[in-house]
A = this chain, B = another copy of it.
């Protein structure tokens, strides 16, 4: 059922029907207006968004690319994006890449096809030339067609980015732990080439070095960026016989994995070993002991990235720095 049908049913021209239903309230007599609306209702008419998009040349879709929507980190960001997009009258097209870098490019191309108004890329980047370069290229092409883009994390995609102060947060955390009296550290460092993990590792180690504390390489355990990765890394660490006073996992999900592993091994947190994470995901409110971490305003990240994308221009790359804040909880009582 098309606008044409409605017009005929109401006994008016298509133009009038169009104006009555969607357009300029201005210019249509109330009586006709009523008649058209009634006809539309009677016929269960709904404007065809595709047709509208075509003639208007743009859609009201905003694409959101995440690695895994079930991860509280991403779902919090998604909540922010959904919120901000809603305010702007846009619909969110969610794409979960399941950590497959090749899919990201495919998704960008799809969004380009759809003429999506903007794209928010929320995934943390790996430092792999190939994958990132492909995505960069795809995004550049998309922008070339008038699309707007914003990233979250590191400014490595050649687009406007909400930059999380990973280095500052990690350094501050290191200093705080030092202040609490810890002197023997270890780290669950995540993937070697993962940019976020890398930034947090380097800053943490750097700050400790500035304080005269050295962390030998064997105390920096690489591994997955997820729950299981954290668990495995902690097991590996403890298996070496090393017993640091405090362990820093480069994100909360890993820290929680480590916490579970410690529990299984009968290692008490924080009595036997202190533990800290990064992100302050909402899950933490339910965890005992409360996990010391660096609070990243996740929902806000989504909101800001959306706003950034919508206000972005075809040229130039803007960066928005987001401050983070150390939150000390029971998992690092000090000594």
Interface residues of A (CB under 8 A from B): 1, 44, 46-51, 53-54, 59, 61, 64, 68-70, 72, 75-76, 78-79, 82-83, 86, 91-96, 98, 109-110, 112-115, 141, 144-145, 227, 256, 259-260, 263, 282-283, 285-288, 299
Which residue, of A92, A114, A287, has the highest number of chain B Cβ atoms within 10 A?
A: A114
Least distance between A286 CB and chain B CB atoms (Å): 4
Least distance between A179 CB and chain B CB atoms (Å): 27
Question: How far, in angstroms, from A78 to B115 measured CA to CA in the complex?
Answer: 24
Residues of B within 8 A of A59 (CB): 50
Inter-chain contact B286/A256, CB cutoff 8 Å:
yes
From B1, B141, B287, give the contact of A287 (CB < 8 A). B287
Inter-chain contact B93/A93, CB cutoff 8 Å:
yes
From B51, B82, B113, B299, give the contact of A49 (CB < 8 A). B113
Inter-chain contact B113/A48, CB cutoff 8 Å:
yes
Inter-chain contact B49/A115, CB cutoff 8 Å:
yes
From B78, B83, B283, give the contact of A94 (CB < 8 A). B78
Residues of B within 8 A of A64 (CB): 94
Question: How far, in angstroms, from A113 to B44 measured CA to CA in the complex?
Answer: 11
Question: How far, in angstroms, from A115 to B91 measured CA to CA in the complex?
Answer: 14
Inter-chain contact B54/A51, CB cutoff 8 Å:
yes
Inter-chain contact A50/B53, CB cutoff 8 Å:
yes
From B50, B96, B113, give the contact of A82 (CB < 8 A). B96
Residues of B within 8 A of A78 (CB): 69-70, 75, 94
Least distance between A116 CB and chain B CB atoms (Å): 9
A76-B82 in contact given A44-B144, A93-B93, A145-B46 (Cβ < 8 Å): no
Least distance between A96 CB and chain B CB atoms (Å): 4
Q: A49-B114, A70-B79 are in contact. List 8 more A-B contacts (CB 8 A).
A: A47-B113, A72-B75, A79-B96, A82-B96, A91-B110, A91-B114, A260-B285, A263-B288
